[in-house]
Amino acid sequence: MSHQKQTLGEFIIQNQASFKYSSGELSSLLNSIRLAAKVVNHEVNKAGLVDIIGAAGDTNVQGEDQQKLDVYANEKFIQTLTKRNIVCGIASEEEDSFITINSQDENHRNKYVVLIDPLDGSSNIDVNVSVGTIFSIYRRITPVGTPVQLEDFLQKGSEQVAAGYVVYGTSTMLVYTTGDGVNGFTLNPAIGSFYLSHPKMEFPEDGNIYSVNEGNYVHFPQGIKNYIKYCQEEVDDRPYTSRYIGSLVSDFHRNMIKGGIYLYPQSSKNPNGKLRLLYECNPMAFLAEQANGKASDGYTRIMDVVPTELHQRVPFICGSKNMVDKAEEFMTNSKD
């Protein structure tokens, strides 16, 4: 491996030709996400120093307390994406409805929409646990030259042209796919550039980590309870190790590197699951599949679910292929 690592900017330009639609727009869009990530990273890293942590006093559309940093990240990503005049619409987990973007000279001529969870796991900020940004990119389906409509955002995950996340951790990484594998870039804070540090990331087919909030065990469906018991049995290479951060980006990132499964099933408390299909599950499912992993709602492929609303929730099981297969098997076998 050469000492001169490739920067994210160089990588985007070099791989532009492999995009299905190579107009340069998607490259500009990824570059603007890179820029916003750097700005948000700066704030996340000094969150302990200034009065930016803690709840903002508003609750978002899901009824969750908004952290001040959520609001900041949301504004930064929307600002950056709007200014650069690349997208025709943005949907954010923090906004009730989608945002239509029309630059005066372009007249709705942009082709991409972005769906974003600006700061996932933000309840962890106060205690210095990693948080992240998750993004998902589609080509619009309504005619170019007209304002975006809801259906531009309600596309199946299989239609995504790009997806990724930024994890603001001990080191800050941007991990993304455009449908040609998954690559990870680490920020060098001294220079302010992301460098290719994890080329061609893949989930091991098997793993020995399971990530689930076992405090909700009593509320889980029988299939998940049975799978958790299976993970805990002293047989063969089990029991597995239990690791749950409660920050989807961090849990997913660790499991992709080490091999594992992440479960956020439906429960009697959250009958449809808790994670959002459009902002969390679809982008993570795209990354998982591109990294030789698998993502399911317990029975079917996440990216085949047809969305009916912007803030739709779904049960989510994701990670190493063989582990997800096994969890699905338990779900199927426990059906009455």
Binding residue numbers for substrate:
120-123, 213, 244, 262-264, 274
Distance of alpha carbon 158 from alpha carbon 301, whole angstroms = 10
Q: How many Cβ atoms from other residues are within 10 Å of residue 208's Cβ?
A: 18
In this prediction, residue 114 carries a pLDDT of: 97
In this prediction, residue 1 carries a pLDDT of: 45
Largest CA distance in the chain: 65
- Asked if 95 and 74 touch (Cβ cutoff 8 Å), the reply is yes
Binding residue numbers:
93, 117, 119-123, 213, 244, 262-264, 274, 280
In a domain, residue 104? The reply is yes
In a domain, residue 299? The reply is yes
Binding residue numbers for Mg(2+):
93, 117, 119-120, 280
In a domain, residue 2? The reply is no
In this prediction, residue 14 carries a pLDDT of: 86
Same domain, 241 and 138: no
In this prediction, residue 276 carries a pLDDT of: 97
Q: Percent of the chain, pLDDT > 90?
A: 71
H-assigned helices in the chain: 8-14, 25-45, 68-83, 150-153, 222-232, 248-258, 282-290, 321-333
Helices and strands (DSSP H and E) totals, the chain:
8, 17
In this prediction, residue 335 carries a pLDDT of: 76
Residue 235 pLDDT > 70: yes
Instruction: Report which secondary-structure segment, H or E, holds 57.
Output: strand 55-59
Distance of alpha carbon 155 from alpha carbon 141, whole angstroms = 9
Q: Which domain holds residue 130?
A: 8-200
Question: Among the three residues 155, 170, 200, which one is the final residue of a domain in this structure?
Answer: 200
Same domain, 265 and 229: yes
Same domain, 164 and 59: yes
Same domain, 148 and 70: yes
Same domain, 71 and 154: yes
Q: Which pair of structure tokens corresponds to residue 72?
A: 């900041």
Same domain, 192 and 221: no
Q: Which pair of structure tokens corresponds to residue 16?
A: 């532009």
State pLDDT tens for residues 311-323.
999 999 999 999 9
Calculate the average pLDDT of the chain: 90
Same domain, 258 and 173: no
- Residue 77 contacts by C-beta under 8 Å, 6 or more apart in sequence? 33, 36, 40, 90, 92, 116, 118, 133, 135
- Asked if 36 and 14 touch (Cβ cutoff 8 Å), the reply is no
Same domain, 57 and 129: yes
- Asked if 110 and 25 touch (Cβ cutoff 8 Å), the reply is yes
Q: Which pair of structure tokens corresponds to residue 113?
A: 């929409």
In a domain, residue 1? The reply is no
**pTM score, two decimals?**
0.93
Amino acid at 293: G
Residue with tokens 């993970």: 231
Question: How many domains are there within the chain?
Answer: 2
Residue with tokens 């709007």: 82
State pLDDT tens for residues 249-294.
999 999 999 999 999 999 999 999 999 999 999 999 999 999 999 9
Q: Which pair of structure tokens corresponds to residue 145?
A: 């030259």
Same domain, 187 and 252: no
Residue 209 pLDDT > 80: yes
Question: What value does the mean pLDDT take over residues 155-172?
Answer: 94
Same domain, 74 and 191: yes
In a domain, residue 309? The reply is yes
